[in-house]
């Protein structure tokens, strides 16, 4: 039975439980609740959440007050997990904060705050522009987030930017068999292209695992307003 590991916050458990109930063939290990043997995992899902704690960032912090809703225990586990699964070449799907974790884990930096970009009262729908080599092409995303990638880590390749302000919305790791991230998305059926590529390039065990991760994230993010759940 394929296993995926992730860190699920208490306020997100309801939404994840709804998705996981439809995939009994997948074992999901929530590192917030119990220790996880990373060597036994088939894939890593890095999800949304609060800001990364200052001690894990690779940059000077001019205004520490802009860093909010941190969880050092989560940070410590996610950076360890990202490092181990990157080294083993196992699939990583990074959503929202997860893409920030992936970039920082590889010694990239972040825009600590984007003034006026994050609004709980409205969705900030942004059309995207894509690099010529991008395989996965979303027409637009919900860009309501107050952090973004700044200096890209070595090997991180941007696949899509917000057309109006240049915020990185989607990226992948060139040297990794399957490590892709999106800051936010109205995912819908567009994620099927991600699944198809994974089907062609990965082992059957990883296919089953990542297919579920992609479907779960697509349902959780598609057509919901930011205040509908804790992400």
- Tokens standing for 70? 């941190």
How crowded is the C-beta side of 208, counted as CA atoms within 13 Å?
13
Q: How many CA atoms lie within 13 A of 161 on its CB side?
A: 11
Q: What is the mean pLDDT of residues 6-34?
A: 84
Kindly state the percentage of the chain with pLDDT values over 90: 38
Are the C-beta atoms of 187 and 19 separated by less than 8 Å? no
Q: Average pLDDT for residues 130-142, to the nearest whole number?
A: 77
Supply the pLDDT for residue 176: 84
The residue whose two tokens read 């704690």 is: 53
- Classified as helix, coil or strand, 222 is coil
Over residues 93-113, the mean pLDDT reads 93
The Cα 184–Cα 37 span in angstroms is 29
The Cα 219–Cα 83 span in angstroms is 27
Residue pair 99/57 in contact (Cβ under 8 Å)? The answer is no
pLDDT per residue as tens digits for the range 204-224: 445 444 544 444 444 344 434
Average pLDDT of the chain, as a whole number:
78
Of 6-20, 32-46, 47-61, 81-95, the range with the lowest mean pLDDT is 6-20
Higher pLDDT, 188 or 146: 146
- Asked if pLDDT for residue 60 goes beyond 80, the answer is yes
Q: How many Cα atoms sit within 13 Å of 39 on the Cβ side?
A: 0
pLDDT in tens, 143-174: 777 899 999 999 999 988 888 888 898 898 98
Q: What is the pTM of this model?
A: 0.82
Arithmetic mean of pLDDT, 96-101: 91
The length of the chain in residues reads 231
Residue 121 pLDDT class (50, 70, 90 cuts): low
Q: Which domains, ranges and CATH numbers included, belong to the chain? A: 3-228 (3.40.50.880)
The model's confidence at residue 22, banded by pLDDT at 50, 70 and 90, is low
Residue pair 120/227 in contact (Cβ under 8 Å)? The answer is yes
Q: For the chain, what percentages of helix, strand and coil (3-state, to nearest 5) are there?
A: 35, 20, 45
Cβ neighbors of 106 (< 8 A, separation 6 or more) are: 86, 153, 154, 155, 156, 173
The yes-or-no verdict on residue 183 having pLDDT over 80 is no
pLDDT of 138 higher than 90: no
């Amino acid at each position: 039975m394929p296993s995926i590991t992730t860190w699920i916050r208490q306020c997100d458990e309801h939404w994840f439980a709804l998705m996981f109930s439809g995939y009994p063939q997948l074992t999901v290990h929530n590192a917030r609740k119990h220790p996880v043997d990373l060597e036994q995992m088939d894939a890593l899902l890095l999800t949304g959440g609060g800001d990364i704690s200052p001690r894990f960032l690779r940059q000077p912090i001019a205004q520490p007050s802009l860093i909010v809703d941190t969880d050092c225990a989560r940070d410590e586990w996610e950076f360890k997990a990202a490092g181990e699964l990157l080294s083993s070449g196992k699939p990583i799907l990074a959503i929202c904060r997860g893409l920030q974790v992936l970039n920082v884990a590889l010694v990239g930096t972040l825009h600590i705050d984007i003034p006026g970009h994050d609004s709980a009262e409205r969705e900030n729908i942004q059309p995207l522009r894509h690099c010529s080599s991008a395989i996965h092409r979303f027409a637009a995303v919900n860009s309501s987030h107050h952090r973004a990638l700044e200096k890209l880590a070595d090997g991180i390749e941007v696949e899509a930017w917000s057309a109006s302000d240049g915020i990185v919305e989607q990226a992948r790791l060139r040297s990794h068999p399957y490590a892709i991230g999106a800051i936010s998305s109205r995912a819908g059926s567009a994620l099927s292209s991600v699944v198809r590529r994974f089907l062609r390039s990965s082992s059957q065990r990883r296919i089953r695992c990542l297919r579920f991760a992609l479907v779960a994230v697509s349902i959780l993010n598609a057509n919901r307003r930011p205040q509908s759940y804790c992400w």
